[in-house]
A and B are shown apart, each in its own frame.
Chain A
């Protein structure tokens, strides 16, 4: 489905990703974990085309995305939920969700399953996105990314700053998205238990490289924990 081969990425002069290779198989939920500043979010931003990647290939279903602008990558079927949510604060909840329809022409109906996944959103349909709590904004950001039914959903720290009860809902929603619609998921996280519970594969990053990869059910949690704290 999604394949990164020997990708380098820079912020100014600083090299953040070095020769990074990562594969996200179709239909799987893949976790990408690591300490702060190892390049997890940069990996996702590289996939989205939000930062330049002078070296390497980023392929989706065999097509190289590297020369495509962000909006064209999204039209190829990538849904993105960034760190900090980045909902549009001055737009209503409904408008935020409708914006998610842009990759398929901006028109159409919001699929019913979006509100089945996040039943709280219809109650706030006419409220400004910026007035929602952090957890509600996270649900809104995921709903917005899903509304055009992407082939792959990319999530950047979906549990960051969220209260435990909502983390549980978000975890359940991610699994339902995968099971109901067959949407592939790539998720960056620091919350190890969440990754162990909700993913099929796990990757650990360090200094811009993948240093550990395993099927989640076969992963050694203690070893992963050690890699994350060393």
Chain B
């Protein structure tokens, strides 16, 4: 029973990490249909930003307030990746809308450039972020241990989902964003500057990747390939959930996270990866549109 609960918690934890890295992708790929191969590198930038903020804090503030660095690193990671995303959209992506293969290749190139830049700045050896004191250790209940940093990531994911929901469904900008994603020419005919909306939407997606980077920095060493570890699972979660549906991304992340951990528990991590891939392939063969489909009554009845 204890082992089952531990596995369940690990599944939930992995799902939340996949979801955190997928949320931004659900916006850039799911809503904008931009295959951003550099999304993982925005996760990396978020992680390195956390490391830099930690070091700046260590150099400036006394040790008893060092733990505060993480609360500064979160918004700073978001802000930096938001701005970089905005610049990338303006300079590259905006010229490639409707050309999926071209945008895939271009963003793959950018991903390589960003990885090399990280190696040049931080070196090839991994660097570490020290978790704030309250995120060290874990909560033990009846023989099961739930690590604080993973509980924290779960809460952070919940906050991010709430934030994305509020922006998309409860704000004026969200209304414009949904209009542009559903019908770009008609959104322009409503007086919406769709280029501006595209830019901000892409930047928000990138900013979410930055927050994801900030959280995965708590889980292990940071190096230039950290984003690559998450990008495949994230793409699978978005496609499995149904492109364009955020709730689908949540469920897709859950399916991948739980099936990964449960298979790994009874076999090995290599077999788990193969099984997850097989589940996704079989599912998409049966239901290519994913778990959730956008329904609309025919307009010309």
Q: For residue A138, give the distance in angstroms from its CB to the closest CB of chain B.
A: 10
Q: Is the CB of A74 within 8 A of B189?
A: yes
Q: Is the CB of B190 within 8 A of A134?
A: no
Complex formed: what's the CA distance from A55 to B183 in Å?
28
Convert A67-89 into 0s and 1s, putting 1 for each residue whose CB lies closer than 8 angstroms to a CB of B: 00111001100001010111111
Contacts of A133 in B (CB 8 A): 297, 301
Stretch at the interface among B73-81, B113-121, B170-178: B170-178
By size class, the interface of chain A is 35 or more
Q: For residue A230, give the distance in angstroms from its CB to the closest CB of chain B.
A: 27
Contacts of A87 in B (CB 8 A): 299
Q: Is the CB of B188 within 8 A of A69?
A: yes
A103-B297 CB under 8 A given contacts A82-B186, A90-B178, A98-B175: no
Q: Is A148 an interface residue (CB 8 A)?
A: yes
Q: Is B6 an interface residue (CB 8 A)?
A: no
Complex formed: what's the CA distance from A5 to B182 in Å?
34
Q: Is B272 an interface residue (CB 8 A)?
A: no
Q: Is B192 an interface residue (CB 8 A)?
A: yes
Complex formed: what's the CA distance from A81 to B191 in Å?
13
Q: Count of chain B residues with Cβ under 8 Å from any Cβ of A?
A: 24
Q: A84 — nearest CB in chain B belongs to which residue?
A: B299
Contacts of B175 in A (CB 8 A): 91, 95, 98-99, 106
A74-B301 CB under 8 A given contacts A89-B182, A99-B175: no
B178, B185, B300: the one contacting A88 at CB < 8 Å is B178
Q: Is B60 an interface residue (CB 8 A)?
A: no
Convert A96-110 into 0s and 1s, putting 1 for each residue whose CB lies closer than 8 angstroms to a CB of B: 001110110011000
Q: Is B112 an interface residue (CB 8 A)?
A: no
Identify which of B183, B296, B297, B299 gathers the most chain A CB atoms within 10 Å of its CB: B299
Q: A78 — nearest CB in chain B belongs to which residue?
A: B189
Q: Is the CB of A71 within 8 A of B294?
A: no
Q: Is the CB of B194 within 8 A of A71?
A: yes
Q: Is A139 an interface residue (CB 8 A)?
A: no
7 A-B pairs with C-beta separation under 8 A:
A69-B193, A71-B194, A86-B185, A88-B178, A91-B182, A134-B300, A144-B190
